[in-house]
Amino acid sequence: MPLGMTKATHISEHKGHKELTKHKGILEYLNPKYVYFPANRPDLDYEICVKVGDEVKIGDVLTISKAYFPVITHSSVSGKVTAVDKKVWHPSGKKISAIEIENNFKEEVTYLKEQPLTKEGIIETIRLAGIVGMGGAGFPTHVKYTHPKYQTDTLIVNAVECEPYLTCDCVSIKHYAKELIQGIKYAMIANDAKKAVIAVKVCHQDVIAILEELLKDEENISLHLLTDVYPAGWEKYIVEKVQGKTYKSLPCETGAVVSNAGTLIAINDAVSKRLPLTKRVITVSGDGVKNPQNVLVKVGTLASEIIDKTGGYVDDLGAANLIAGGPMTGNGQFFDSFMVEKTTTGILVFKEIAGKEEACLGCGKCVDNCPVKLSPILIKLAYDDKDKEKMVKLHADMCMECGLCSYICPSRIELTEAVGKAKKVVRGK
C-alpha cells in the first residue's frame, strides 16, 4: 500500500507514547510465506551465497556484505530460493535488489558450529551468527568486541530505549530477562569485563523490578538508573553517566564497551542455542494502526504483513506517515511493503502531519536542546547558502542525527535533515 510522505518528525505532544505498547505482551508472527534479504544496495554490495532453486534451512548463509567489516546474513525460514534480484523496498526508503525465499514451513535449522566458551570462541560465534547492534546502528558486534588498542573492564548494557513509541527492548527484557543476563555474561567474557552495568531509565519500574530480582545474587552486574530524557539512549550520554568520563571516538577509550539489550539476548541465542540472528522483536505503533503491538518476527518479513497481523490500519488513516524505526532516527517510507532487517526497531504509522513548515521564530529551542550543543538553525542556513566554511565552523560534522531539533522546533522546520546534509558536506561525502 502506498502511503503519504516521508519521515514524520513532528508528532503531536511528546509524552513518549510508550503506553500504547509497553504493557502488552509479544505477539508472534513467525510464518510469512516469503522473506527478503538485501542482495545489493546503493551503499553496499553483497557476496551472494545462494542461487535460484536452492533449498535452504533457517541459519543457512545467504549473503556476506562486502563492507570493511563484513556481516553474514542467514535465512530466517526453511524453504526455496525463488529470486536473487527481486526489487523490494528497504527500510532505508530505497528500492533494492533482494533475495526472495519461499517458506516451506518445516522450520528446519542449520545450527552454528560449536565454539569454545572462551573470549575468542564467543567472538567467533557472534561473528558467525551475524550479530549487529540491534538498537538501530547495525555495527558488527564481533568487531566492536575486538578493540585491540584498548583494555576494557566494563560492559555497559544499553537498556534505555529513549525514542518515543518504541518499547521492543523493554518488553524483550521483561520476557527474556534470564536470557539477557546470560548474554551479558558471555559478552563479559568476550570483552574481559570484570563488571557489567545495565543502564535503564528510572521510569521503567517494571523492568527495573524484574532485573533487581534476577541480579540479587550477581555481584558483578548492577543497574544504573537514568532520568527520563531524550536522548538518554545516546551512547556518549550513557558512557558519561556510567563511567564519569567521556570519549572522543569510541567508548572503549573509557574502558567500556556498550551493547544494546536486544543484541545481548541475540548473543545468548547464538552461544547457548547455536542460533544465528534471524528473529527480532519490533514495535508496531502510532495512531494509524488499530492495535499497537510488539511483535516477534522473522528477519526479512514485509512490514505490510506485520501491520496486518496486528489488526491493520485504522479506517480513517488518510494521508499517512510511515516510518521504519523510531520517530527521531527512523526513515520515512513511501510504501509499507518494505523488508524488516536485523536493525529495524519499529514500524510506526501516523494519521496526519501536524502542519506545514513556518518561518523560524528565533526561539532558540533547537540550540538549547541539541545534546551536542550545536546551532541547528545556523547550520541549516549555512547549508542553504552552500557556505562550507561556515558549516565547518559550526561543527556540523558533530551532529548525531538524533532528530531532537526537528522534533522540538515549533515552526516544524526540518533541521535534522539539513544538518545531516551539512555533516556530509563537511566530511566530504
Q: How many CB atoms lie within 10 A of CB 290?
A: 13
Please name every residue paired with 109 in a beta bridge, in sequence order, or none if there are none: 58
Q: Does 1 bind ligand SF4 (CB under 6 A)?
A: no
**Cβ distance to ligand SF4 smaller for residue 89 or 407:** 407
Closest distance of CB 166 from ligand SF4, Å: 17
Closest distance of CB 257 from ligand SF4, Å: 23
Site size toward ligand SF4, by CB under 6 A? 28
Give strand ranges (E) for 288-420.
293-298, 321-324, 331-333, 346-350
* Of the candidate residues 130, 133, 233, 376, the single one contacting ligand SF4 (CB under 6 A): 376
Which is nearest to 270 in space by CA: 138, 179, 386, 188? 179
CA distances from 77 to 104, 278, 298, 342, 362 (A): 8, 8, 8, 14, 53
Closest distance of CB 408 from ligand SF4, Å: 6
Closest distance of CB 355 from ligand SF4, Å: 13
Non-local CB neighbours of 89 within 8 Å, separated by 6+ positions: 95, 96, 333, 334, 335, 337, 338, 339
**Taken in order 289, 294, 295, 299, is the CA torsion positive or negative?**
positive
Q: Does 162 bind ligand SF4 (CB under 6 A)?
A: no
> Cell numbers at residue 405, please?
531539533
**Cβ distance to ligand SF4 smaller for residue 282 or 405:** 405
Angle formed by the axes of helices 119-128 and 177-191, to 10°? 120
* Of the candidate residues 223, 250, 360, 381, the single one contacting ligand SF4 (CB under 6 A): 360
Instruction: Candidates 137-145, 152-160, 262-270, 355-363: pick the segment binding ligand SF4 (CB under 6 A).
Output: 355-363
Which residue do the cell numbers 555495527 mark? Answer: 139
Residues in contact with ligand SF4, shown as a per-residue x/- string from 399 to 418 under the rule CB under 6 A = xxxxxxx--xxxx-x-xx--
Closest distance of CB 364 from ligand SF4, Å: 5
* Of the candidate residues 170, 374, 378, 391, the single one contacting ligand SF4 (CB under 6 A): 374
Q: Contact 210/177 with Cβ under 8 angstroms?
A: yes
Closest distance of CB 419 from ligand SF4, Å: 4
Q: Does 362 bind ligand SF4 (CB under 6 A)?
A: yes
Name the residues that contact ligand SF4, by CB under 6 A. Answer: 360-366, 370-372, 374, 376-377, 399-405, 408-411, 413, 415-416, 419
